[in-house]
Structure 1
């Protein structure tokens, strides 16, 4: 039976990427496994260079002063690194959920952090709008997509200061003017590859402006100088991410996958709105194309619904513990057929109720 993987992360990956990754673990370079070769070997240096180049190419940032890095530590380490490298006096943060709250907490260790706006009082079910970003701040930080609450920024403010964005859960899923951002970071495991590496794309002009001494492992300039190989990189996650970016390029790049993602989102949200047994969590204008969050209105039907999901091969649909309900994560590699399978189960439940 086909398994429809709606897990919020680690994400579903294309079958061809999984197949090539599995083969590389056995034989990647003349009988040597990918995970036992030297990270300084030409075979892996080529992987790292290709992965970094593909990231910039897909974002349309080649030749525009940006550098791409693949680092360890997850997006959580970036909460610290952003502040270490960019925060001199004060910065503004948009608080839209759990991960932005954690980013704010880490940055406050270093200096003054201000929330330019927050949706916490409404349970983070919408994206704040109409806020001001003072021009004397060092940078503005936002989170483009909130996996837990199912909200997504549909537009980004025009900033006179560097804009930093955590794009962990919707990176490469939709066309954007990526040149609006001074720094973008994204944990691979939400929409790009397996857990273990984080993509950082940074414009070099925003670096080197803080007075503090930065430990080498936390210094973007050091990682850029070393070609993202200052220390032993996460070899396997970088390789799988490279394969995934190659797969995306073959599909027509970000513009190509965006059309598929919109179809999937329209299908699931149409069912949520038309089916009286379900209710969406996020306000309609801010609904995420990556993570659809919803609840079952009649708890007496929960056991029946979950039995039907299991019989249909639908996995990973449980909502985050802080919200409850259900969460359908529809990352790039999830097929439209999988969303159709979920919608069919939801429709069948209505017919049975």
Structure 2
């Protein structure tokens, strides 16, 4: 092979290599952290009317646990809790919006096997453990779901709630009658007028409806839940770095409460002799480096937003209209399921 031919062959191979490199670059997953920093905002996909989770007022002010989590994420990544944009999504478009890079993180949907495996999403951590419950007039003198044999139950037709009733009551050989509708507001009216014994739905939704009833104090939520609905942030599959940031933002909120670090005492906690506390605050270790974040990322979360308990109290707890007990959402050390992985 003469020199000219060798040069030509080498040139062809270089062109092929460059083309393959360009194709790989085009197909590479978006580095969300870099995109967020370039944009200067975290874009969160939320619902505009999910009581306790996310709501927007007539003045455009957002509130709820999902909203506060997004603020915590912005504080961790950009150092500013207000560097957030909220995009209201409906159920049909939410996962497509995540796949299409319209949002950086998706909230307001529960974690299930199919959502975690078939929709190009990856759930980072549970933020709230919800489940299907029941509301009943107090004058029925019923204190447990197990006392509902023979009851009439208002439920949305052709939903997982209806299926859960069949499973729960059927397995216990409890009699029941379903009063169904495809409109939630119609079920509220039926229940309010005494057309059914109990109304069933997610516990957070029932707490919201109890607050709306003219005689809300005359109704009570039964303590049991007959289904599991863990809610938490989801990110696009393929960006492990961003997944880790979202996961450890959730963990930081819980860990801060475990260590009794709050927005009101965080600066005084810098004087703590506890190595665990000092690592968390970025004083004795740089735990931000593996995440690509600043040394004080966890400090910024708590200083600007608070710990998990503070957020719960404002959005679902006693300082909120819903006034729900912590229950499963309490710390593991207090009988709940909230548990932060070690910060080391």
TM bucket (normalised to shorter chain) is: under 0.3
TM-score, length of structure 2 as denominator length: 0.26
Q: Larger Cα Rg: Structure 1 or Structure 2?
A: 2
Structure with greater contact order relative to length (CA < 8 Å, sep ≥ 6): 1
TM-score, length of structure 1 as denominator length: 0.26
